[in-house]
Amino acid sequence: MTVEEVYQYLCELLGEDRILGLEAGARDPFVIVAPESIAVVADVLKNDSRLSFDHLCDLCGVDWRAVPERKVACQEPRVEVVYQLYSFTHRHRLTVKAKLPRWRDETEKTLPEIPTVSGVWAIADWHEREAYDLVGIRFIGHPDLRRILCAEDWVGHPLRKDYEFPLEYHGIRGR
Amino acid sequence: MSLALEDPRVIEFDVRTDEMLVNMGPQHPSTHGVLRLLLRTDGEIVHEVVPHIGYLHRCAEKIGENLSPPQWVPYTDRMDYLSGMNMNLGFSLAVEKLIGMEVPEKAMTLRVIAAEMGRIAGHLVGMGAYGLDLGTFSPFLWAFREREIILDLFEELCGARLTYSYVTIGGVTHDLPQTIQIPPGLAQLTGRPFDQRLSWIEACRLFLDWMIPRIREYHTLLTTNQIFVKRTAGLGVLTREMAISHGCSGPVLRGSGVDFDLRRDGEQIYTRMYSGYQYEIPCPPFSDAPPEVVLGDNWCRFYVRMNEVAQSLRLVSQALDRYPTAEGEYRLPFRIGQKLPQDECYLETECPRGAMGFYIVGDGSPIPVRARAKSSSFCNLSVTGPLCRGILLADIPAIVGSLDVVMGEIDR
């Protein structure tokens, strides 16, 4: 199935309030999904016999924020969670995206939240830990959400655009 | 009839030892780098394995958000440092897909030569190190003898022996050199004078002709060796469902019976490199496997790798045939300050250790917003926990070694 056909099919199954849109003009066309229903959508994507996306190639977070050094302005500050899927049965690919606010409140203290898909694809367990560690996304219902690449007591999420490198870590000078 | 527990001869079998937490690594010879496994053991039986990674984390993705793509190519070398060529290729192709560039035939032929030679070198280390894990030293020395010649050839090609940055955006950095001095290892093994000068293609062909018969020797030395078979066959069985759910790729996935190789099944921008080449994709069940072998066990994964070496030798040989008539330039221009489109793309390529994916997001400036490297070893390592449940402590190196992970790629 092409991405357009997958999008139409998903809309019929799950409705417009869960499947928010399709970006057909991108180099890899992607489907935008409402963050709170990602677990339901993932379950359909994997278990529906016409879709059967049994392989989660990649899951990562992208932080969008205006950065002064960049000459190009960012219009819409957000955090995206990007899922790359492949089906060994039908040999088709799909990119799914969920857009989250950068923080859950104004004070910029609490991380944005999205339901986990680790119950659908086992590898999502580690990928979500990495996205939590580096981008700072909290996956609700994850069995063991702790840092995976950075040290356990590390502060901050390095792939955030406004991340500040620590001046000191256990007596080691940062800069 | 008395109870077995009342029999003084069998009471010792009922003794339970205390559970113990054992740290294996991060400086353990059989963990292939800085992998730390936390084992919960009861005597010799391992109940639970928790891998801890991140000891080699070098913030490659963060660096990628501050450099333009040609500047980031050397950082990809340091991900899977045993097959830098394939890492360069994966990233270069992803950027080319993003900007819509199609490289000429000559560049593609050179890339096939580089990538497949890199695959041979990568699998040779995987094979030799796996022998070390299982307690035999000779295969390691043999593998490094062969790899040395490949590295010498790469050195003549691009000047580097480990971190090549040879494949770059738009093609490759250099054409094949006209005349080189024969690599000393090759001269010694083929009985030629050490000061002989010949073209790169001739030297490469000399290596291929010498290497092809060696594969059979490896099979005698390791693959069909009874001790090796007993240590690997029927152990660490990874089922097809588990392999797919854990996102495994490359030889680990194929070892579980999934016939999938991105060189054939990948995206067009990658598969067009390999169109017209004759090669097979080894996938179990193998007709020549020993009877103890189970689909998806350590032995299958190892045998897939060994067969891939033979197929890569075929591919290099065909690419060398094509090279003299290949059309076009070896490199298309791509400036360091060239702007990336406001677009994004994801591309996976078949690296020796599995499918390496690069996800690049551009916003109209020369520097990407996000440069994501999805590591194949990362996914392959995630099956360690389920695979190592209820096995003997001594089998852990055999299972982790058969996954053939490179920590530089996992931690990035």
* pLDDT, tens only, B212-236: 988 888 888 888 888 889 888 888 8
CB B104, CB B171: distance < 8 Å:
yes
Angle A161-B334-B329 from CA coordinates, rounded to 5°: 150
| Boundaries of every domain in chain A | 3-173
Q: How large is the ipTM?
A: 0.89
Element (H, E) at B49: strand B45-52
Q: Which residue has the tokens 């990928």?
A: A127
pLDDT the model gives residue B2: 46
Q: How far is A16 from chain B (nearest CA, A)?
A: 25
Q: Which tokens go with A16?
A: 């417009």
Q: Does A83 touch chain B (CB under 8 A)?
A: no
Round to whole Å and give the CA distance between B243 and B382: 10
Give the pLDDT of residue B117.
92
The DSSP letter of residue B296 is T
Q: Which of residues 359-378 of B touch A (CB under 8 A)?
A: 359, 361, 363-365, 367, 369-370, 372, 374, 378
On average, the pLDDT of chain B sits at 87
d(CA A58, CA A124): 8
Q: Tell whether domain A3-173 is in CATH 3.40.50.300.
A: no
Query: How remote is the C-alpha of B113 from its chain's centroid?
Result: 16
pLDDT tens for chain B, residues 1 to 412: 445 456 555 555 555 667 888 888 787 766 677 888 888 888 888 888 999 998 889 889 999 988 999 999 999 998 888 888 999 999 999 999 999 888 999 999 999 999 999 999 999 998 888 888 888 888 889 899 999 999 999 999 988 888 999 999 988 998 888 888 888 888 888 888 888 889 999 999 999 999 998 888 888 888 888 888 988 888 888 999 899 999 899 999 999 988 899 998 888 889 999 988 999 998 888 888 888 888 888 999 999 999 999 999 999 999 999 998 888 888 888 888 888 888 889 999 999 998 999 999 988 888 899 999 999 999 999 999 888 888 888 888 889 888 888 888 888 8
3-state DSSP of chain A: CCHHHHHHHHHHHHCCCCEEEEECCCCCCEEEECHHHHHHHHHHHHHCCCCCCCEEEEEEEEEECCCCCCCCCCCCCEEEEEEEEECCCCCCEEEEEEEECCCCCCCCCCCCEEECCCCCCCCHHHHHHHHHHHCCCEEECCCCCCCCCCCCCCCCCCCCCCCCCCCEECCEECC
Please give the Cα distance from B225 to B218 (Å, whole number): 10
The answer to whether the Cβ–Cβ distance between B98 and A26 falls below 8 Å is no
pLDDT for B5-44, tens place per residue? 565 555 555 556 678 888 887 877 666 778 888 888 888 8
Q: Please name the amino acid found at residue B213.
A: P
Under CATH, what is the fold of the domain B56-411? Cytochrome-c3 Hydrogenase; chain B (1.10.645)
The residue to which tokens 């090549």 are assigned: B164
Nearest CA in chain A to B411: A149
A88 touches chain B (CB under 8 A): yes
What residue spans define the domains of chain B? 56-411
Task: Tell me which residue has tokens 């989250």.
Answer: A100
